[in-house]
Structure 1
Amino acid sequence: MKFGMKLKHIPLLILALYSTSALAQEPFVVKDIRVEGLQRTEAGTVFNYLPVRVGDTMTEEKATQAIKSLYGTGFFKDVRIESENGVVVVMVQERSAIAQLIFNGNKSFPTDKMKEGLKQIGLAEGLIFDQSMLDRAEQEIKRQYLSQGKYGASVKTSVTPLERNRVAVRFDIEEGAVSKIRNINIVGNKEYTKEELLEKLTLTTPNWLTWWNKNDQYSRQKLTADLEALRSFYMNQGYLEFNIDSTQVSITPDKRDIYITINITEGEKYTVTDVKLAGEMLIPEAEARSLISVSPGEIFNRQRVTESSKAINDRLGNDGYAFSNVNAIPEVDKEKHTVAFTFYIDPGRRVYVRRINLTGNTRTRDEVLRREMRQLESAWYGADKIERSKQRLNRLQYFSDVNVETPAVPGTNDQVDLNINVTERSTGSVMFGAGLSSFEGVVLGVTINQNNFLGTGNRVAAQVNTGRINTVYSLSYTDPYFTPDGISRGFNVYHRKVDTTYLRTGDYKTASYGAGVNFGMPLNERDFVSAGLTFDYTDVELSSNSPPQFKRYCSSSEDANSCSNSSWFVNLAWTHDTRDNIMFPNKGVLQRISSEVALPGLDLQYYKLEYKHAWYKDISKSVTLMLNGEIGYGNTYGDKDYPFFKNFYAGGVNSVRGYEQSSIGPRIYDTQGQYRDFAAGGTKRFLANAELYFPIPGMKDNNALRLSTFIDAGSIAGDGIDESGACIDSRGQVSGCPYSTSLSDIRYSTGIGVSWLSPFGPIKLVLAKPLNKQDGDRTQMLQFQMGQQF
């Protein structure tokens, strides 16, 4: 008995007919199974796909099924099944395997990247060769070159047989030159010039910046986005009937130059005559109208209409209507060129959140994420609560990405799940020699920091940093949820040394030792208060070059050039923070009032008060305006002098840029009234900054890198200065001052800067110019800081 069946690229219909004719043969019991033709494939693989075993009855139907299964594996290009005296013989011819992928002529894409890309579509060394996959690979390579503007690129493939049923696949590539957009023509514009409209497009002809941003290279996606940008521009200017009639893209025969023509019809400018509300009003009508930014008498603006619908949708979402729909239905009068809008509100059903599902947190414990959630399970859906939860997770700085989804629960119409997927980032760091600044020089040392210790959300930091000005040894631990209500508790111990020799602020050295405990308590979502108690012991060392004002402070000690102080001081602070991001905010406000008060009974009796107000506004999607103001005041409340080493200073990369670090403010005089080039600091401080942040031209928005332009202002007054602003020498006599030292004597500067959250730590680079430099001021045009928080 013999089953003479063969399957080799034949339609299933023919196979079915062929199998039917074989059914006339009688079934038989399988005594043995033999496989012939295998070179690489294991015999066990063939046996797994056979529907019969030894002892089973072989039928024509099972033989057909076996052929289909084996052919479907893709391992074989020919399969035959025959029988000899009860033995089933499976004869196969294997497909060739890819032994080599060879690329020739590829310059824009490295060979390893080419192989990696082809592997994703099923063409790689070691896999079975498939001609259809090779054709697809050829088209994909061409598409990649087209995306780079190389429309003259060509790809030729060849397949070379090798021993042991293998093949080598070769790609011969001619990349050709990059095709450039030589002209973009807009036809039909009347109200706006061609130059005005071209500014709205991303695509452009070659210029000094296109070598970087590649915007002179055509792509269908970019053109589609540009056409929508053009449409939005006209719609926002009142042209309700604006239309893009056609677009033509032509390329020269040598495929080097591209010409684009856009045909438009502007239409007439429309005015809004009326705005009405309709539908199911679940919120007060007055409140709904306050969310609409479109008013009668205004020129039609599509963006405002869209924003108004979204604002009402968001408001309904806050009350649990997750699937609300607000449509702005226009009533157009083409003769009068007017339009009236009816905002039809369909709130849908009120829904609640069934479960909150967390994924992606492989290190961070679930409870650390859940305690930041403001949306609760089994509670009504709240869009504002979900958005706030996402912001709080982002502010932890544990995750590089937080993605939130709210799918409906299958089988219900009033439930959703809240799915939160996070991508964890490294929250610990060990930095060696990581500090560098224009005023400290190289900062050597080690900093071990773990903001998410063992996934608990607790912060642990150990620091040993040495600079020519500041030396710090510290250890701190903070539990942000010491209580379930969010009260934090922290401990810290430190040893700090300060050497001002390099700052020219009056020679002195201090060595401080201290330990403290602090608590913090949230008042609400945006407000936070903190209180801490610290014991501090400070040694002060003066030199022969130290100003008399400093020596007077230590005059009561046995050695006039040194003295020591011990104190208990309390830190109190209130913070109001609505920023959307801690490192690179785009909108929000940061206000902080802080105080430091030395308690009576020990050596120091002083207090310091500081207030900071920073305001961020997103001017556009990628441009942010920041306005910042700070004031500080310090004084003594007893019969002891104010400690000069607690003075305020200004100047440097973090205050008034363009002036040397801590160089702004009163100057020091010696006992003979001679001027010294020392900045004394003071007990009063004023600082103001206006800064505009924007991305680097030609680069996509980057959350870790941005440019800025700024204007700074600041001044220092106080210690050693009487009410009239005159300088006081060590004998208490008033001497003439070459500079005014009141807060009204403000220094200004302007410049540009770049901020980068690099893998080595935050980097700030500033190019600044003082605007009202006075004689004796020390300026510094280029300033930078790396490896320190800013």
Structure 2
Amino acid sequence: MLLNRLTLALAAVLAAPSVLAVEPFTVTDIRVEGIQRTEAGTVFSYLPVKVGDTMTDEKTAAAIKALYATGFFKEVRLEAREGVLIVTVEERPSIAKITLEGIKEFSEEDLKAGLKQTGLAEGQVLDRSLVDKAEQELQRQYYNRGKYAVEIKTTLTPLERNRVAVQFDVVEGESAKIQQINLVGNKAFSEEDLLDEITSTTPGWFTWYTKNDQYSKARLGGDIEILRSFYLNRGYLEFNVDSTQVSISPDKQGIYITINMTEGPQYTVSSVKLAGQMLVPEAELQKLITVVPGEVFVRDRLTETTKSISERLGNDGYAFANVNAVPELDKQKNAVAFTLFVDPGRRVYVNRVNVTGNTKTRDEVVRREIRQMEGGYYNAEQINRSRDRLNRLGFFEQVNIETPSVAGTTDQVDVNVNVAEKSTGSVQLGAGFSSSEGFVLSGSVSQANAFGTGNRVSLQLNTGSVNTVYALSFLNPYYTLDGISLGYDLYKRDVDTNNLDSVSDYESSTLGAGVRFGFPVNERDYISLGLVYEENSLKVDPTVPAGQQQTEYQKFVDPDKTGNSTRDDNTLRVDASWARDTRNSYLFPTHGMLQRVSSEIGTPVGSLQYYKLSLQHQQFIPLGHDFTLMFNGEVGIGGGLGDEELPFYKNFYAGGSGSVRGFETGTLGPKDYTGDAIGGDRRLVGNIELLFPLPGVKADQSLRMSAFIDGGAAFGPGDANGLYRDFAFEDLRFSAGVAVLWVSPLGPLKFSLAQPLVSKPGDKEEVFQFTLGNAF
């Protein structure tokens, strides 16, 4: 006979034979009591007992264990009444809301997203262990930012309907600063030199911006690798960091770091030889070896060598070529011999080229930049070139190319191109200030990837005290399948030099329309041809002071001295250019070159007939990891065709930002009797610039500093003093100084401080020059 009321929970929990005081019974019905949010069906689904089963001690224990395991309940009881199994539960409260108070270092949305990853989120059942885990995760995030004094207090507030509010009260405190970094064991290099190499540093002028004075375990690990690379690139093959100690001051505001190291001896390279299956003439691979016997070992050269040999084999289809450099140390002579074992692997070809991630950009726009063809042998050079071309489009934040093996084959790979798109349309309104043009307003509406076609459309406005430009342009970079581009331009340009004290006064208004074609010769060379029609209106002051002569401007407008102040012309102009660009970056190049030849010809169809030719050569040479040497040379020449002269407003100018810094804009060249610059029909400019990161902010890619030497001038027949008529070395001006370029969120900003090295009386110097905003 069953008891009228039996509590089975105790027997299940104690689960001992001596405790069992209940005889087994057959379950005729099951009732659930105490639920508020949870559905009864949910309880039944977890309950390992059904109507008709025989209830035993084992099933009682299993039922209670299963219901506790759901995490929904904080108490579970089982009772039996005349064959009816009664399940009584008390639910855990649900989280109604999560609030964070005192948060300044992070965004609240980001922190809540992180808490959700730990399982703590609004609407979830409260688990105290998860709350503790979330508190520890918050603390860890603050420790990663160097805030070791952070205090976090968690408050749980009960609400109606068995809910609870979770609040984290945070007192962030101040970030702990690195007060001292000690290097122990260094003998070959001073501590000062080594500390200059790593990113972690003590507080300085720029650390408020870089945060490099805040301790981070990841940053310290990176600094150790920097030290290791530093020593290995100087021949210390046995260099080792033995240990690191990090301590914090009692007030948790100061961090002290000690790095213990063993330098070992410096090794030179005794020999380098090739071995293995090369499949390429050994003489060709020998040319790729940059490790030189007899010189101090440099690890970067060895890495470059193995990479170059692997890529060379990859160009012939050996996608998985491996070059293993095996050293043989002679510790008596402190010399190392390397054997480069070449394993080409199996030659493979490309099965499919797959493109993903382009939700807006059409598939064809991506594929036309890819140089690796389906069905062809794998070619590492073509794949790298494809990545470079896609990056240069400017449509994508990131381009990843992977080459996984095709399942079930040993000689096939797929090329998976994954792109992360970014916004290519922009509406910009801005203001800037130029030391030559004063206050400048600018605005533009542009779409570099219109409707995902790769076509570019832009409307631009730039208004300054000297130049005002309105321009509408369109470019189809693939007007034909083989990459011939087609573009259209419509523009209006007004020039008023009255606000330039150093240049003669005139006003001009030009309205132009043009069409241009671009022809890719190869991956690096590009030819452009354009046809432009312009209408130009020119205005000068015709007044000639008593005893003075006409200026060159007045002669052009009023050659017969009739008192005319305006002249209207039209021009049918042909533009042509050739460019070769091997730079690795458009903004901050570190190697490569830019060569450009351009011409502008006013044809006999218009009233102005002239020509202008320009040549530029720019070379970037890397000097170590952080320094780049830049050489730039520019030559220009122009003149009239037939009986015409070169229009004065087409003259070349020199001086100022972009040519010879330290002198006022456009002043280095012929001048009229008033002393104002009028430009010339020839121009020569040269620059030598050493580019390097701004001290203290090496990791910031938006900042760069340089030391430079500039030289140049313009030449022509119009000089009133007989100077600059023909090219003469003594007429060249030179300057030297430093410059800073910052690509700020508001636009590029450039400062320069230059001191003229070679100048003459009458030159107009301008030591400090800068441009701010979009007016460059």
Q: TM-score, normalised by structure 1?
A: 0.86
Q: Which moved more, 1:555-564 or 1:275-284?
A: 555-564
Q: Retained in 2: the 8 A contact 1:542–1:562?
A: yes
Q: Retained in 2: the 8 A contact 1:498–1:510?
A: yes
Task: State the secondary structure of the residue aligned to 1:582.
Answer: coil
Q: Retained in 1: the 8 A contact 2:148–2:176?
A: yes
How far apart are residue 367 of structure 1 and its match? 0.9
How far apart are residue 347 of structure 1 and its match? 1.1
Q: Name the counterpart of 1:332.
A: 329
* Distance in 1 separating the partners of 2:8 and 2:530: 88
* Distance in 2 separating the partners of 1:267 and 1:678: 66
Q: Name the counterpart of 2:621.
A: 617
Q: Retained in 2: the 8 A contact 1:715–1:743?
A: no
* Distance in 1 separating the partners of 2:341 and 2:22: 69
Task: Map residues 439-450 of structure 1 onto 2, 5 A cutoff.
Answer: 439-444=436-441, 446-450=443-447
- The runs of 5 or more residues in structure 1 that have no matched partner are 670-675, 722-726, 728-735
Task: State the secondary structure of the residue aligned to 2:600.
Answer: strand
Q: Retained in 2: the 8 A contact 1:668–1:678?
A: yes
Q: Which moved more, 1:279-288 or 1:774-783?
A: 774-783
1:627 aligns with 2:624: no
Residues 360, 44 of structure 1: CA spacing in aligned structure 2 closer, same or farther, 3 A cutoff? Answer: farther
Q: Name the counterpart of 1:386.
A: 383
Q: Name the counterpart of 1:750.
A: 736
* Distance in 1 separating the partners of 2:393 and 2:184: 52
Residues 51, 699 of structure 1: CA spacing in aligned structure 2 closer, same or farther, 3 A cutoff? Answer: farther
Q: Which moved more, 1:240-249 or 1:327-336?
A: 240-249
Q: Name the counterpart of 1:362.
A: 359
1:548 aligns with 2:555: no
* Distance in 1 separating the partners of 2:355 and 2:151: 48
Q: Percent identity?
A: 52
* Distance in 1 separating the partners of 2:221 and 2:628: 27
Name which of 535, 538, 544 aligns with 1:537: 535
Q: Retained in 2: the 8 A contact 1:659–1:779?
A: yes
How far apart are residue 685 of structure 1 and its match? 1.0
Q: Retained in 1: the 8 A contact 2:440–2:464?
A: yes
Residues 197, 788 of structure 1: CA spacing in aligned structure 2 closer, same or farther, 3 A cutoff? Answer: closer
* Distance in 2 separating the partners of 1:105 and 1:447: 40
Amino acid in the other structure paired with 1:746: L
Task: Map residues 116-135 of structure 1 onto 2, 5 A cutoff.
Answer: 116-135=113-132
Amino acid in the other structure paired with 2:581: D
Q: Retained in 1: the 8 A contact 2:600–2:612?
A: yes
Could you list the per-position Cα deviations for residues 284-306 of structure 1 after superposition, in whole angstroms to 9, with x for gaps in the alignment?
Answer: 11121221222322233333222
Could you list the per-position Cα deviations for residues 576-634 of structure 1 after superposition, in whole angstroms to 9, with x for gaps in the alignment?
Answer: 11122223333221111011112224322211000111222343455443322111100
How far apart are residue 331 of structure 1 and its match? 1.8
* Distance in 2 separating the partners of 1:688 and 1:166: 75
1:788 aligns with 2:767: no
1:469 aligns with 2:493: no
1:661 aligns with 2:661: no
Q: Retained in 1: the 8 A contact 2:9–2:60?
A: no
Could you list the per-position Cα deviations for residues 140-193 of structure 1 after superposition, in whole angstroms to 9, with x for gaps in the alignment?
Answer: 233233334444545454545444333344546565665454544444444344
Q: Retained in 1: the 8 A contact 2:552–2:678?
A: no
Q: Retained in 2: the 8 A contact 1:506–1:545?
A: no
Q: TM-score, normalised by structure 2?
A: 0.87
Computed over aligned residues only, the root mean square deviation of the Cα atoms, in angstroms, reads: 3.8
- The runs of 5 or more residues in structure 2 that have no matched partner are 545-549
* Distance in 2 separating the partners of 1:616 and 1:178: 40
Q: Name the counterpart of 1:569.
A: 573
Q: Which moved more, 1:740-749 or 1:137-146?
A: 740-749
Could you list the per-position Cα deviations for residues 536-590 of structure 1 after superposition, in whole angstroms to 9, with x for gaps in the alignment?
Answer: 2222222135853222223468763222222222111111111222233332211
Q: Retained in 1: the 8 A contact 2:514–2:530?
A: yes
Task: Map residues 121-520 of structure 1 onto 2, 5 A cutoff.
Answer: 121-171=118-168, 178-253=175-250, 255-432=252-429, 434=431, 436-444=433-441, 446-504=443-501, 505-520=503-518
Q: Retained in 1: the 8 A contact 2:506–2:540?
A: yes
Q: Which moved more, 1:178-187 or 1:520-529?
A: 178-187
* Distance in 1 separating the partners of 2:563 and 2:241: 87
* Distance in 1 separating the partners of 2:399 and 2:417: 7
* Distance in 2 separating the partners of 1:497 and 1:601: 24
Q: Which moved more, 1:698-707 or 1:356-365?
A: 698-707
* Distance in 2 separating the partners of 1:385 and 1:8: 74
Task: State the secondary structure of the residue aligned to 2:386.
Answer: helix
1:777 aligns with 2:763: yes
* Distance in 1 separating the partners of 2:142 and 2:429: 44
Residues 611, 88 of structure 1: CA spacing in aligned structure 2 closer, same or farther, 3 A cutoff? Answer: farther
* Distance in 1 separating the partners of 2:771 and 2:23: 85
How far apart are residue 277 of structure 1 and its match? 1.0
How far apart are residue 390 of structure 1 and its match? 1.2
Could you list the per-position Cα deviations for residues 636-657 of structure 1 after superposition, in whole angstroms to 9, with x for gaps in the alignment?
Answer: 1201222112111123333323
Could you list the per-position Cα deviations for residues 710-763 of structure 1 after superposition, in whole angstroms to 9, with x for gaps in the alignment?
Answer: 332221111415xxxxx3xxxxxxxx4588874532223334434344454444
* Distance in 2 separating the partners of 1:667 and 1:244: 65
Q: Which moved more, 1:609-618 or 1:145-154?
A: 145-154
Q: Retained in 2: the 8 A contact 1:188–1:263?
A: yes
Q: Name the counterpart of 1:716.
A: 714
* Distance in 2 separating the partners of 1:786 and 1:59: 85
Name which of 580, 605, 608 aligns with 1:604: 608
How far apart are residue 457 of structure 1 and its match? 0.8
Task: State the secondary structure of the residue aligned to 1:98.
Answer: strand
Q: Name the counterpart of 1:560.
A: 564
* Distance in 2 separating the partners of 1:175 and 1:552: 73
